[in-house]
Amino acid sequence: MQSEQSHSKAGILFTSPYLIHLVVFFLYPVGFSLYLVFHRWDLMTDPEYVGLRNFTYLMSDHLFWQALTNTLYFLVIHIPLQIIVALALAIVLAKPLKGRVFFRATFFLPVVISGAAVTILWQRLYSTEVGLINYVLSLVGIDAVPWLTDPGIAMPAIAIMATWKNLGLYVVFFLAGILAIPQTVYEAAKMEGASSWHEFRYITLPLLKPTMFLVVVMSTLGGFNLFIEPYVMTGGGPLGSTMSVVLYMYKQAFSFQHMGYAATLGFALALIIMVCVFIQKKYLDSERYY
Amino acid sequence: MSVRRLILYVMLTAGAVSFIYPFLWMGSISLRPMTEFQDLGLFSKNFTLANYQAVFDRIPIGRAFMNSCLIAGTVTCSVIFFSSLVGYSLAKLKFKGQGAIMAIVMISMMIPGQLTLIPLYQLIVYFGWADSYLGLIVPSLMSGMGILIFRQTFMTIPYELMEAARMEGAGEFQILRKIFWPLAKPAIVTIGILTFMGSWNEVLWPMIVVHEKAMMTLPQMVVLFTKGGESGGQFGVEMAANMMLVVPIIISYSFFQKYFVEALASSGIKG
């Protein structure tokens, strides 16, 4: 074996660029964010210590709570929609169908495309008078939907677009999960006279729990990261109905120069995300750890 | 049974059309005169490149394209190089502080980026890196996910190969370069695709640190173009700009479809 010493030398040499980068661009910003949340700062003058005032303002800031509620509204639509459609497609594509590689590749296409590009395209598709989506709906007799101009519909519209954008990725996750289930389990169930619904309900679904966890966590993170979608499509409107927390943070920081408060928003959002993921882990991920 | 199968195919095809048609329509609209913006079909007698000409006339989109290539390219090379160094150290070397480094990689990945966004911006301003390549590139030079993928891949490579090379007097870096990199090609491709795509598609960070047109990235410039009024609200011109953002990715995707799917699938399992 090589001596411990030469291992140490190589180890230190190989990891030090990463560690230096980590200290400057991760640990320092984390520390600085803890400083900022207790200060008021407009970038021009010196930061002013304000104690807990950023937090008390946050608690009573109805725009923050609205942004948070908007995000929850997004997640409540996006997550179930995503799971149902992706799971259904994965079950179909797990069968030995002709052309399944083509279908998989097609559903995956928007995954690789920039969210900005998808949003710019969908803004046109959602156009009330001349949009493709309302045209297709009119073919089946549905009246024009004011997708991006009705406060009650704008957020669901963004959730539908996000589902379209990410669907292919989750189909691939579910597909991998389904194909990993040993065929013998299904054969045993058939011997017992299980119907296909029973097979799905008592074999496929429980065994897909780790995949389900992954999909829920990733969709949740996506929801809390919403930024360019409302920025391009609605600017957070109508009536603040699509304002996301990140967009609100961006506006506080760069439209109003409220750096301390923006950092507080980032701090609160990070905390909320970690609590959400922790809760999801506790309830969904009982047996496996990624 | 065959009726069921037919219904399945009809539904799958309808689904596939709803994924492809919007892109085709975007391409078609980008090639048609302004007067046809209401047409939802794909064909026209009046195809023209005028919209593309208008984009090039109004914004420095070629420059933005080069900026995006430069930034994503640099970030990708750096992430592959440095992540493989750290991944190798964690997987194959034994030294003090190794456990601590592993722990800090995990922690850095668990903490949401929103926490550091504002302080990181201030750091960039403090360094004088706003409106510069440094501000766009340096914060993303390293990746915890890259480290984890390399570590996992390198752990499966047997020690015997290393011992043989060491007998011949090879140093650790030579072992990494001559033995580990060639054996870890799939991991390199995966990290390369994930990093390049992530960097290419990123808009929030460029929108924060860059305000000068000459330094903007492609997605940022296209967003500004459609939002900021320079497109004049003309569908065709907007879609032409958007096409320039989408087409390079669609072309690479159609050639390396399998690698894209594998890379993104593994991102979920590791992240």
Supply the pLDDT for residue A226.
93
Chain A interface mutation, best of B10, B114, B202, highest count of A Cβ atoms under 10 Å: B114
Domains of chain A: 62-284 (1.10.3720.10)
In whole angstroms, what is the distance from residue B150 CA to residue B188 CA?
A: 8
Among A94-98, A200-204, B131-135, B234-238, the range with the most confident prediction by mean pLDDT is B131-135
Chain A residues 159-218 with a CB less than 8 Å from chain B: 164, 169, 172-173, 176, 214, 218
Chain B residues 178-207 with a CB less than 8 Å from chain A: 197, 200-201, 203-204, 207
Q: Does A45 touch chain B (CB under 8 A)?
A: no
Question: What residues does each domain of chain B span?
Answer: 2-48, 58-270
Supply the pLDDT for residue A202.
86
* % of residues, chain A, pLDDT over 70: 96
A9 class by beta-carbon count within 10 Å (0-12 exposed, 13-18 middle, 19+ buried): middle
Supply the pLDDT for residue A23.
95
**Lookup result for tokens 């089946």:** A140
| Six token digits for residue B21 | 């048609």
Tens digit of each residue's pLDDT (9 = 90 or more) over B150-192: 999 999 988 888 888 888 888 889 889 888 999 999 999 999 9
pLDDT class for A287, splitting at 50, 70, 90? low
Say whether pLDDT at A263 is over 50.
yes
CATH number of B58-270: 1.10.3720.10
Tens digit of each residue's pLDDT (9 = 90 or more) over A10-63: 888 999 999 999 999 999 999 999 998 999 888 778 888 888 889 999 999 999
Contact B200 A114 (CB under 8 A): yes
In whole angstroms, what is the distance from residue B69 CA to residue B67 CA?
A: 5
Contact A169 B104 (CB under 8 A): no
**Lookup result for tokens 């506080």:** A252
Burial code of A154-184, b = ≥16 C-beta within 10 A, e = fewer?
bbbbbbbbbbbbbbbbbbbbbbbbbeeeeee
Supply the pLDDT for residue A22.
95
Residues B29/B37, Cβ–Cβ less than 8 Å:
yes
Average pLDDT on A92-120 reads 91
Average pLDDT on A253-276 reads 92
Tens digit of each residue's pLDDT (9 = 90 or more) over B16-37: 999 999 999 999 999 988 887 7
pLDDT class for B270, splitting at 50, 70, 90? very low
φ, ψ for residue A49 (rounded to 5)?
-70, 125
In whole angstroms, what is the distance from residue A109 CA to residue A101 CA?
A: 12
Say whether pLDDT at A174 is over 80.
yes
Alpha-helical (H) ranges within chain B are 2-30, 50-58, 61-92, 98-110, 114-127, 133-137, 144-155, 159-167, 172-175, 181-183, 185-201, 204-209, 218-227, 235-255, 257-270
pLDDT class for B117, splitting at 50, 70, 90? very high
Which residues are CB-neighbours of B169 under 8 A, at least 6 positions away?
none
